[in-house]
Amino acid sequence: MKVIGHRGAAGSAPENTLISFLKGLEYKVDGFEFDVQLSRDGEVVVCHDERVDRTSNGMGWIKDFTLQELKRLDFGSWFTQLSVYQEIPTLRELLDMFKTFNLELNVEIKSGLVQYPEIGEKVVNLLAEYGLLDNSIISSFDHQLLLDLKQHFPRVKTGILYDCAPIKPWLYAKFLNAQYLHPAWHFVSSELVVSSAVFGIGINTWTVNSSFAAHKVRTAHVARIITDYPQCFRKGANGEAIWLGL
């Protein structure tokens, strides 16, 4: 069971900033999950929210800022009074950081309040340019986007994000030609893992931040856990991630 840092190491540093990913590397994660959106001038930037209000000193929609304008905002100081100034990273900057590490990447494409018609192709092309496509999963709550992406780029591995209790989700994943299901942790069960495995579908779950959640997903034998606190896990002799506590 692999440990994937959520937005870097979001429990220890401002989410989706370079310092957060550096923290994750310090904690020896197996990989990272992060979110991407498009600036007004078409640059792929790393940020969870469609607006900058919560995680910066600015206000407004990411889609309305150029990259240069986004780079003027501080995405670090909101986290704690001791946090330092952090720029919003681009996907290219992040891949530059990751290229010398053997990491798995889970790139979540945001496509809800704001639609970014070209974002999937841009993400795939960047991952391919850095030779990281085979180490990456592209996930989204927009399942039509994932289906379209798979049809245009068959090599891409996709993960279906959901926060509900669908009936036989492994059949849905098979229909969408997805390689992974990405349920919220409370929808994980041994039945889900075993039934999905019959169809060659793996289970990666989020966001595992407590002993209860960690025990539930570990006993179900999921493939990967996504957590804000990667430093709180250690690998057991059988490769399972064991929760040590906050």
Residues noted as catalytic: 6, 48
CA gap 102, 120 in Å, rounded: 23
Q: Which residue, 57, 51, 23, is CA-closest to 35?
A: 51
CA gap 160, 166 in Å, rounded: 12
